Structure 1
C-alpha cells in the first residue's frame, strides 16, 4: 500500500502502482490539509472578489466572472472542453502513473479540492479502472491539459475507460467497479487538468527503464570486449580516480568486476595489442556520462513527483496564481535523456560492428557465421542496429526549444514537454533493441571461442540469456530472437545476477 501525503512519493512507488498493481490510500494528515484548503476555496467562491478558476473563466477568459449558480457547470465545462487529445492511447502503466502522481499532488493540501476527489482517483487505481487517454494534444504548459482532462472525464462518469480488459464508456466502467461518479465543485475541474503529470509519468517510467539499460549496457560491453579479446586495463581504477565523475567510476568498476577470472583474457595476456577501440576502451567514459545524466534526471523527477503544479494554489487564507504547471524542467531533462540514450545505442552499435565485421573481428568467423559465404550469419543484425540508431538520432532532436504560442497568446511560451516525453519513450525502446542485438552477437562470438570461457559472472549472465535467445548454428530469421532478447532486457532487474546489483550499489 502506497500512502500519499504529497511529499514522499518515489519513482519506485510509481513503478509499484503503475506496473505491479500496488494499491494506494490518502494519508490522514493529508486529508486534514485538504479540508482546510477547501474551506478557503468555499469562502472565496461565495465572495464577490474574482478568483481565477474559482469564479472566473480560464486561460484568456480569466477576466470573465461566472455566477455562483454556474460554478459547478464551469468545472464540468473545463473538463469537457479540454478533453481534446488525439492519437493512440497511452499505455495502461503510463495512465496509472499519471493518476497516482496527480492524486499525490492533490494530497499536498494546497490545491483547494475536497479529499473525495483524490480518494476517487485512488479508487480508480485500486479497482483497476484505467481511463482511455489519447497520447497527443499537450504542449506541456498550463500542464498536460488534454491528457489529464481525459482522466477527469472518467471521474465524472464520461469519456472512455478500460476495465477488466474491456473498453467501455467511463460511466459503465465506474458502474461495473462500483464507483460513484464525481460532482465537481468550484475549482475542482481546473485542479484535475492543471499539472505536469502526463509528461512526468512517461518520463518516470522511461527513467526507470533507462537505469536498467545503462547497467545492462556495461554487461553487454563486457561480453563484447571479452569476445573480441580486448583488455580490461582501461578500466583500472587509477585511471578513473583522476577523473572522478560518479557514473564513470561506477561503470568502470562494474566492467572490471564483470571481467575478473576470464579464461579468454588469460589466453591472450601476451598479445601485442596495446589499446582497444574507443567503443570498448572508452565505455566507462560514455556509459558513465549516460549514468550521470540519468542521476540528474532522477533528482529533477524526484522533486516534481512531490510538487504542487496546478493553479491557483491556496496558502493560508489566500490563493496565489503562478506557473508551476510549466514543464520546462521536465522537458529539458527528457530531451537530455534522449540524447544520452542515443549515445548509449550508438556506442553499442559500434561494438556490434566490431563483433561481426571480418575486417575488425580478428580470430572470429566473418559475421559469426558457421559457414561464411554459404551463410550470412549475423551480418544483418548490424544493419538493423544501424537503422535503430539512425532513428534514435532523429528522435534525440530536442523538442524543448520549440515553443508555439497557445490560448490566444496568454500562454505565449510553452515547454513542449509532452513531445519530449513521447520521443523519449521511443528512444528507450529502440536503445533496448540495440542492446539486445549486442547481447545476441556477443554471446554468439563467445560460442565461437569455446572451449574457452569468459568470467564466472559473465558466464552466469550468458547462460541466462541464451536460455531465451540461443546462439545460431545456421541461418534463421532473427526478428523473433531480437524480440525475445529485448523482452529479457525489459525484465533486467529480475534476470540479472544478484552480484551485478550488489556491485552497482556499492
Structure 2
C-alpha cells in the first residue's frame, strides 16, 4: 500500500501488519487499530489482489451480456424489476450514495469509524464483491492517513447492510462532504489532496459493494466485545476485593463447589477469585465462622454472631460472572466470523463464473450476539451494584461504618457531618438500572421497510449500539465499586489483603486517596476509569 502522510501519526516500524482478505482479522486487532496507538501497516497479499481483480473482471464480463444483475443493471430493493442499460450503471451508483445520506443522531466516535473502515476493507478484500482494487486501496490509504468520514449513528435497520452509515464512508471516497482529519473538521477533498490522494468515480456495483454489509454494526460489536473481556476480568477482581472488604466466606469459591456445576466460565471465575484472595487474612473460612460462635452444646437454640453464608451477590458471583465469560466465548467467535465474511450482495464467483443474489448483508448473528452480550453485561453491573449496596449499609457490612465514613469519636467536631459513599451508591444504582433497561433485546423489533422488500430486518446495529452503551455503564459501575471496596478495605485493614488484591489496591490508592471527609468523587471515578483502560488491572486479574 502507499505510504500516506499523517502529521499526527508516529511510525512504528515493528508494528505487526494487519493482513486483509485472508480471514485473519480478530476482535483484538480491530480494537487495537481503533485506538490508533502508533502506525499499523495494512497489507493485501498478491493472492488477495488477484481474487479482487478476477471478481471485477467477471462483473464486467457479465454486464456485457446485458443480463439483469441486481443492483448493477437493475434498480435497488423493490426496484429490482427495473433494468437499465450498462451505460447507465455507474450513474445509478452515485445516486445510491446520495439518497442514503440521511443519517441522524450523534456522530460515531473515531474508534468506531476506524473499526468500520478496517472491517469493510477486509470484507471487500475477500474478492467476491466485484469492486476494483483501486477503490479498496483508497479506503486503506484513508485509514492510514486517519481521514475519517463523519457518520451519524442512527439510520440502519441492519438488514440490507448498514446502508445509511456506510454511505458516509462511500461518500468520502468520492469526495463528498466533510471528514475528521489532522485534529479538525475539513472538506473531504481538502484532506485527500493534502495526503496526495484523489477521490474515485465509482463504477457499476461499487457503491453497493461499499455500503451493503454489516461493517458498521460489526465495528460497535467488536469494540464492545473487546471491552467486555476486560470488564469480565475486572468483575472478578471487584468481587475478590468485595469479599475482603466484607470479611466474606471464602468457602463459596472452593473448586469442589464449582466443579459440580462445571460451566467453564463459572469454574474460571471462581478459580480467579480464589487466586486473587490467596494470602488474604481479611476473609474467613467456614471453620472459622463455626468456631467464632457460641457452642450449641445441649441447648436447643443459639444466636450466631453472623450468618454462616454470605448473601447471593457475593457467594453467587461466579455464577453471574461466569455467564459473561461463557457468553464472550461464543460471541467472540460469531463477531470474528462476521468480520471475516463477505457481507454483501450480489456476489461474483470467479470459480463458477456466476453472479449470485442472496442475503449476506443480514446482521442476524451480530444482533443476537449483542443482545446476549448486553444482557450478560448488565447482569454483572447489577451484581456489582448489589455488592456496593451491601458494603455501604451498616446492617450488612459486618462491622464497617455507615456509608463507609471515617471512624470518628462522638465528641469529634466532624462527627455527624459526613455521609461518605452514600451518594456514590445512589449513582451506582442509577447506572445499574440504566444498564438493565438498555439490555432489552433489539432484535425482536423487526420492522417491514422499503415497500416490504426488506420485510424482515435484523436491528443488529441498534443492538450493537446498545451493547456499546451497556459497556460504558458497567465500566462506571466497576470504577465506583473499586473505590467503594478500597474505602471499606482501609476501614477493615489494608495490611490484611492478599498479594494480588494488594497490588490492585495500591494502583487505585495512587490515584484516589482514602475518603477522610466528604468531597467530590467524580474525579476519582475518572481516574479509576483511566486506570482500567490502561490494562494494569487486567494483568493483575488475568
Q: Contact 1:460/1:497 (CA < 8 Å) preserved in 2?
A: no
Tell me, yes or no, if structure 1 residue 11 matches structure 2 residue 27: yes
SS in 2 for 1:310: coil
Deviation at 1:330, TM superposition (A): 0.8
Return the structure number with greater helix share: 1
Structure 1 equivalent of residue 432 of structure 2: 389
Q: Which one of 245, 256, 268 corresponds to residue 227 of structure 1?
A: 245
Counterpart check, 1:92 vs 2:135: no
Asked whether the 8 Å contact 2:44–2:125 carries over to 1, the reply is: yes
Q: CA deviation at 1:497?
A: 6.7
For the pair shown, the structure with the greater C-alpha radius of gyration is 2
Aligned equivalent of 1:25: 43
Which of these residues, 214, 230, 233, is aligned with residue 232 of structure 2?
A: 214
Aligned residue for 2:507? 464
Instruction: Report how far residue 500 of structure 1 moved.
Output: 3.2
Cα distance in structure 2, aligned partners of 1:450 and 1:394: 37
2:441 equivalent in structure 1: 398
- Contact preservation (8 Å) 2:56, 2:131: yes
1:289 pairs with 2:323: yes
Q: Secondary structure at the match of 1:319?
A: strand
Query: Paired residue for 1:409, among 443, 447, 452?
Result: 452
Could you say if the C-alpha distance between residues 344 and 451 of structure 1 is closer, same or farther in structure 2, counting changes exceeding 3 Å?
closer
- The CA deviation string for residues 241-274 of structure 1, in whole angstroms up to 9 with x for no partner, is 1111110011011000000101223696644542
Aligned residues: 499
Change (3 A) 1:127 1:461: same
Q: Does 1:446 align with 2:482?
A: no
The corresponding residue for 1:63 is 81
Per the alignment, residue 275 of structure 1 pairs with 309
**Residues 463 and 173 (structure 1), Cα distance of their counterparts in 2 relative to 1, 3 Å cut:** same
Measured in 2, the distance between the counterparts of 1:307 and 1:284 equals 34
- Check the 8 A contact 1:5/1:29 in 2, yes or no: no
Matching residue of 1:327: 363
Please name the residue that 1:378 is paired with. Answer: 421
Query: Contact 2:494–2:502 at 8 Å: present in 1 too?
Result: no
Shift of 1:496: 2.5
Match of 2:348 in 1: 314
Which runs of no fewer than 5 residues in structure 2 stay unpaired?
1-16, 294-306, 409-414
- Residues 6, 106 of structure 1: 8 Å contact kept: no
1:84-128 residue CA offsets vs partner (Å, 9 max, x unmatched): 211111010101101101010111111111111111111011111
- Post-superposition CA distance 1:23-74 (Å, at most 9, x none): 3121221100011111110111222211111111111111111222222111
Matched, 1:255 2:296: no
Q: Closer, same or farther in 2 for the Cα pair 1:362/1:16, shift >3 Å? A: closer
**How many angstroms apart in 1 are the aligned matches of 2:284 and 2:259?**
26
Long gaps (5+) in structure 1: 502-506
Does residue 82 (structure 1) correspond to residue 100 (structure 2)? The answer is yes
Distance apart, 1:20 and its partner CA: 2.6
What TM-score do the two structures reach when normalised by structure 2?
A: 0.90
**More off after superposition, 28-37 vs 272-281:** 272-281
What is aligned with 2:302? none
Change (3 A) 1:498 1:475: same
* CA shift digits 1:450-477 (9 cap, x unpaired): 2642101100110011112222111001
Match of 2:474 in 1: 431
Q: What is the RMSD of the two structures over their aligned residues, measured on CA atoms?
A: 1.5
Cα drift, residue 16 of structure 1: 2.3
Query: 2-side partners of 1:107 and 1:353: how far apart?
Result: 51
1:345–1:434: 8 Å Cα contact kept in structure 2?
Answer: yes
1:350-404: CA deviation from partner (whole Å, max 9, x where unpaired): 1001110011112111111014632001111111111111111211111101011
Secondary structure of the residue that 2:313 maps to in structure 1?
helix
Any conservation in 1 of the 2:531–2:537 contact (CA below 8 Å)?
no
CA distance in 1, matches of 2:365, 2:83: 33
Aligned positions of 1:155-170 closer than 5 A: 155-170=173-188
